[in-house]
Amino acid sequence: MASHVSSPVNNKFADWLNSMYGHYSEVKQTRGNFHHYLAMHFNFSHRGQVRIHMKDYIESMLNDFLVQFTSEDSAPTPAPVDLHSTGTSPKMPPKEAEIFHTFVAKALFLCKRACPDIQLAVATLCTRVKDPNQDDWCKLLRLMVFLSETRDDELILFVDHLDIIRWFVNTAFAVHPDFKSHTTGAMTLGRGCILNGSCKQKLNTRSSTEAELVGADDMSQLIFWTKLFVEAQGYEIKHNMLYQDNKSIVLLMENGKSRSTKRTRALHIRYFYLTNHIEKGNIEVHCCPTNKMVADYHSKPL
């Protein structure tokens, strides 16, 4: 809790926590503008925003890594152009493979809390931990160099309107070696993305349109959960907005079967589900120009 002033709501919540968990240990309130939790540092000193960083955690990662980087090492982005390629290089020895697995897991913890900009690289490296090769090691090196250069960056979150949720969802078609696509999503209430997603799709699709449908469905549960969560805090959500950069997808979601063709008929359940929620007013779908598609950064190594 960031406020210096007690409020009846805060006290009631603390009382409730103690009634539920006080038999383990007393639940105490920590007040002030600076907080530390699970390696995350929260700074509420700037009015209307919160700044989050994990500088100590990143520093520890870099110190424990086998390679020490210099000022000459540079990585403008965390992911190389050939990120999704498995390559033909030799397999990593068991000891190095274990180190690879360890640091990918550490990066996964980091990207889900304070560094969403490395999420695409981490999501792809997570698919390689069982059988990594030397190319995968080079991609991890690039990620670590990027962290070394951006270790002082902070995630800044600012809310414009508590009654408007914006979700940006995008898909990279057939980018994985098995030709599966990659789904990404980013949610914001103003500045900075509070929730981010980046994952390999679980089924193969025959076109980018099908992949976009699957991607929207992949993110739909989190989209609707977010709306319910904010409403449970006492805020009315007037607009729960989903942005897509494919006009065909917007028409399919809004009109359902009437816009279906032979190419998308097999996936009718996925967009009928979203069409139903559009009709109920639980979500709005809008077309977003590709150059403004925030989720693009989580789907392609830009």
For residues 199 and 252, state if they share a domain. Answer: yes
Whether residue 286 has pLDDT greater than 90:
yes
49 within some domain: no
Task: Give the CATH number, domain containing residue 250.
Answer: 3.30.420.10
Q: Are 123 and 159 in contact (CB under 8 A)?
A: no
Number of domains in the chain: 3
Asked if residue 186 and residue 97 are part of one domain, the reply reads: no
User: Is residue 6's pLDDT more than 60?
Assistant: no
Residues 175 and 85 in one domain: no
Q: Are residues 193 and 265 in the same domain?
A: yes
pLDDT band for position 1 (cuts 50, 70, 90): very low
Average of per-residue pLDDT across 170-194: 94
Could you tell me the pLDDT band of residue 291, with boundaries at 50, 70 and 90? confident
Do residues 142 and 64 both lie within one domain? yes
Q: What is the pLDDT of residue 207?
A: 87
pLDDT surpassing 60 at residue 8: no
Mean pLDDT score of the chain: 89
Strand order in the sheet with 40-43: 34-37, 40-43, 49-53, 155-159, 190-191
> What integer is the mean pLDDT of 14-30?
89
Q: Answer yes or no: is pLDDT of 3 > 50.
A: no
In a domain, 45, yes or no: no
Half-sphere exposure (Cβ direction) of 212: Cα atoms closer than 13 Å: 24
Q: Are 200 and 180 in contact (CB under 8 A)?
A: yes
Is 37 inside a domain boundary?
Answer: no
Q: Is residue 48 part of a domain?
A: no
- 132, 235: one domain: no
Give yes or no: residues 118 and 137 share one domain: yes
Q: Are residues 1 and 70 in the same domain?
A: no
Q: Are residues 136 and 17 in the same domain?
A: no
- Give a yes or no: residue 41 inside a domain: no
Domain boundary among 149, 184, 205: 149
> Does one domain contain both 141 and 167?
no
Q: Are residues 102 and 28 in the same domain?
A: no
Give a yes or no: residue 229 inside a domain.
yes
**Is 128 contained in some domain?**
yes
pLDDT in tens, 25-61: 998 888 899 999 999 999 999 999 999 999 999 999 9
pLDDT over 70 percentage in the chain:
92
141 and 225, same structural domain? no
Residue ending a domain, choose from 149, 168, 202: 149
Note whether residue 84 is domain-resident: yes
> What confidence score (pLDDT) does residue 2 get?
41
pTM of the shown model: 0.84
- Residue at which a domain ends, from 149, 175, 201: 149
Which of 8-22, 34-48, 130-144, 164-178 shows the lowest per-residue confidence on average (mean pLDDT)? 8-22
Give the domain extent around 24: 1-32
- The rounded percent of the chain whose pLDDT value lies above 90 is 68
Give the pLDDT mean for 270-281.
86
At 64, is the pLDDT very low, low, confident or very high (cuts 50, 70, 90)?
very high
Report the 3 state secondary structure along the chain: CCCCCCCHHHHHHHHHHHHHHCCCCCCCCCCCCEEEECCEEEECCCCCEEEEECHHHHHHHHHHCCCCCCCCCCCCCCCCCCCCCCCCCCECCHHHHHHHHHHHHHHHHHHCCCCHHHHHHHHHHHCCCCCCEHHHHHHHHHHHHHHHHCCCCCEEEEECCCCEEEEEEEEECCCCCCCCCEEEEEEECEECEEEEEEEECCCCCCCHHHHHHHHHHHHHHHHHHHHHHHHHCCCCCCEEEEEECCHHHHHHHHHHHHHCCCCCHHHHHHHHHHHHHHHHCCCEEEECCHHHCCCHHHHCCC
